[in-house]
Structure 1
Amino acid sequence: MTDASASCHELLLKLAGRLPDRQLWRFRDWLAAGALDALAAVLPLTLLRERVAITVAESLLLNAALVDAGADPGHLNAVPWVDELGDLDYTFTSESPEWVSAGDSVAVVLGAVLQGRSEVMDVRGSWRRHRSGQGPASRIVLVTASAKWSALTGELQRVLRALGTYEPGVEVIPDSMEPPPYHEAAIAASEPLLPGFVAYRRQLVHR
């Protein structure tokens, strides 16, 4: 992964819960495909249209990710800054809004896809609802990984879409990164999505 791709992945993580899901998953799919030029053309305009303000640190990530990919400097400079972010618009819980059996198809398929991936360190799941209580709950898959973050995000998003989730919530967090508040809240309310995965990974690492 290039430095620009890593910066873009980190930025898109920080935008979780602030950009609409329908846009965020698509941007992550483009990044996984290496389409930084498409992101350079569309992401700054989307931030402006959706009135998403960013911090100074996020502005640095935005420029590091997209300047060399051809982003319009005027669009980048027009994205408003904030000193600090407001409260989260979402709450998280470990309990599904509907009963999910031990034969949960998402967990079964993800377990098969992630088997043998030495870069994957943890896989957890939680359910997100808007703080207003309106709208359906969304499943959030939280993966901690040591490498291949954007590629893994794109792959798992495609898996979830194949299983019927139109706007997949896949958050692949670098093990060296302090989770943003959105992810901290999601992790605090999460449970292991693949029982036994951590023990399995220890065996993998110590072979």
Structure 2
Amino acid sequence: MKTLLHPTYFPDIAAFATMVQNDIQWEVEDNYQKQTYRNRCYVCTDQGRHMLSIPIQHVGGEQGRQKYKEVLLDNSYPWQRQHWRTLQTAYRTSPFFEFYEDDIAPLYEGSFERLLDFNLSTIQAICDCLQVEMPEAKTETYRTEPDGVNDLRILVDAKKKLDMRQEEYVQVFGDRHGFVQNVSVLDLLFNEGTNALKYLQNQDTNFGNV
């Protein structure tokens, strides 16, 4: 049975652990919604948990809702440069930042038009780093209650606090803030490196409140 997930911006550990442990189908036919991981992720900085938010071109007036796959990035603001500088500042002292830097940097140097395409590219980059296959299956229609799949689209909701039993690992600023749970998979990659895949494969993805 396939598991249905939204492709998000450098997914959090809950979503990425779910991805590596299951046969994934990406939800790409839904409407865009605010306050989700579609255009944001969280990393750990010297100030603690920090949000990286991608600006988008909002559709207003009579057009109303728009499809997630049609959402355009607002590249009038240098968000790529800002996000990359934040990652450099946050993780340059982590054990594996230099090891993966050349794999991640091109995402912040290239030109992207649509949010969905950029998000899929971030997931592909992590898959390449972990040496796992990128899931290719995508939805062709939107269904509120899809049959025959394990529906975990709720993981896209940034407001929902998961009942998650996550194994702790050493984080760069853990001595200041303690362990910060379920941030972007980038945090795991830069801190755990080649051990990141095994870590994801061993995480409990039976979220009690999903």
TM-score by length of 1: 0.31
Structure 1 or 2: larger helix share?
1
Structure 1 or 2: larger strand share?
1
TM-score by length of 2: 0.31
